[in-house]
Structure 1
Amino acid sequence: MRHSSLRRSLLPVVSFVIAAALALPAAAQDDLIGAPGPLTFEGTEFALAWTGATEAEAVQEYLPEGQALESYDAMFIIRTATTGNTPLVVAQNMAAGLEERRGTDPVVNYDLIENKATGEVLLDFLISDSSSGSIVVEWNAYRYAPLDGGVVGYAISRRGYGDDGAKTFLTELKDWRQNSITALATMELPEVAIPE
């Protein structure tokens, strides 16, 4: 299963999710937003692995060396959007989509924190998908910030695969979740721009 289709099946359909038109080949792409990487998060270097864009948004996905888009353990993501919304509206839309998943996804959980002083919002959430016949559990934390002409989201995504991998992932999540949230909240963010 391609990584982009899995990401869309895991995430609710809201304004910040990649449109179907973004199903580009899973290969290194040209930087679209002024952040070619590599980026460092929690001591791990992430290199640009995939890009995609529509008129309304651009997405860049970064992976540690040796990981693949279809089966990553950790991914860093930057999304820009010309939604006309604020970071809070984008995060609330994502949370509303997560609420809709509750009936079909037994692990859905999320937390939203607004920083009124900066206009930033941090949303972390847990989701799962077993449509491929094997369970994938995914945790994401998004730091949404205002951007000239729109909103930018900086995210860390982590996954566990299969019954044993998902069980281990969920057990260990409590040990690293808060550290990752703090690291994202305090990270010096790369400057980006909405593509023209």
Structure 2
Amino acid sequence: MMHSKLIAAAALTALMAGPALAQSDMLGVPGPVSFQGQDYALAWTSQPTDDYFKQEYVPQDQTVEAYTEMVLIEAVAGAITPMQAAALQAQMLDARKPSDPVVNYEIIQNEAAGEVLLDFVVSDLSADPIVVEWNAYRYMPLAKGEGVALFAVSRRGYGEDGAREFLGNLGPLRSEAINALATFETPAVSIR
């Protein structure tokens, strides 16, 4: 249960990301990762527990502290399924609703592939400047062994005007990114 809570927390930790400390590939995906015509370089890695690994990738001109586009790759070993991981993230989003009026999500299950896509929006209206963030998380079974791999995209808008514009343009951006993510040939992830 602990592992699933860790992987489910990815969006919320991404929203509150601290300074980038490490850049050493731990998942066999050194980057760059190309998604929708954009290259993303490995910018941050973390190993919160012995069996949970996180990597964040941003375009060369961006940082994890103030990105507008990001790709995340994570893996957790253990007895957890993609649906369990997505459901735990949805529970965290539900718990966030009283303090975050922007929270909204949808879960799309691909039973044939054993995958789940979680599409959601969160915000931090107390930040200066405010931040609005859209994410699409594709949870997949680990190729080797028990566990879940996550391939995700994240987009942000900053400040009142930027957030308003971001949300106004989210429809087409969201549709294109979800379609691309659902069919994207994800890089092979291996826990080292």
> What is the TM-score of this pair, normalised by structure 1?
0.87
Residues 135 and 162 of structure 1 are in contact (CA less than 8 Å); yes or no, is this contact kept in structure 2? Answer: yes
Correspondence list, 1:106-145, <5 A: 106-145=101-140
1:74 partner letter: E
Amino acid aligned to 1:160: G
The reply to whether residue 94 of structure 1 matches residue 94 of structure 2 is no
Q: Residues 91-127 of structure 1: CA distance to partner in whole angstroms, max 9, x if unpaired?
A: 0110111111111100100010111111000001000
- Rounded Cα–Cα distance in structure 2 between residues aligned with 1:24 and 1:170: 24
Whichever residue aligns with residue 58 of structure 1, its letter is F
Determine which of 149, 152, 155 is the counterpart of 2:149. Answer: 152
- Distance in 2, matches of 1:99 and 1:177, equals 21
1:104 corresponds to: 99
Aligned amino acid, residue 175 of structure 1: P
Matched, 1:168 2:168: no
Question: What secondary structure, in the 3-state scheme, does the structure 1 residue paired with 2:154 have?
Answer: strand
Task: Report the alpha carbon displacement of residue 181 of structure 1 after superposing the two structures with TM.
Answer: 0.3
TM-score, normalised by the number of residues in structure 2: 0.88
Question: How much does 1:176 deviate?
Answer: 1.2
User: What is the identity percentage for the equivalent residue pairs of Structure 1 and Structure 2?
Assistant: 49
Q: Distance in 2 between matches of 1:79 and 1:182?
A: 20
RMSD: 2.0
**Alignment length (residue pairs):** 181
Q: Residue in 1 aligned with 2:66? A: 71
User: Given residue 81 of structure 2, which amino acid in structure 1 is its aligned partner?
Assistant: T
1:24·1:52 contact (CA, 8 Å) conserved in 2?
A: no
Where does residue 184 of structure 1 map in the other structure? Answer: 181
Q: Is the deviation greater in 26-35 or in 151-160?
A: 26-35
Q: Aligned equivalents of 1:63 and 1:106: distance in 2? A: 27
Contact map agreement 2:54 2:73 (CA 8 A) in 1: yes
Provide runs of 4+ in structure 1 moved above 6 Å: none
Q: Which amino acid aligns with 2:148?
A: V
> 1:33 maps to what in 2?
27
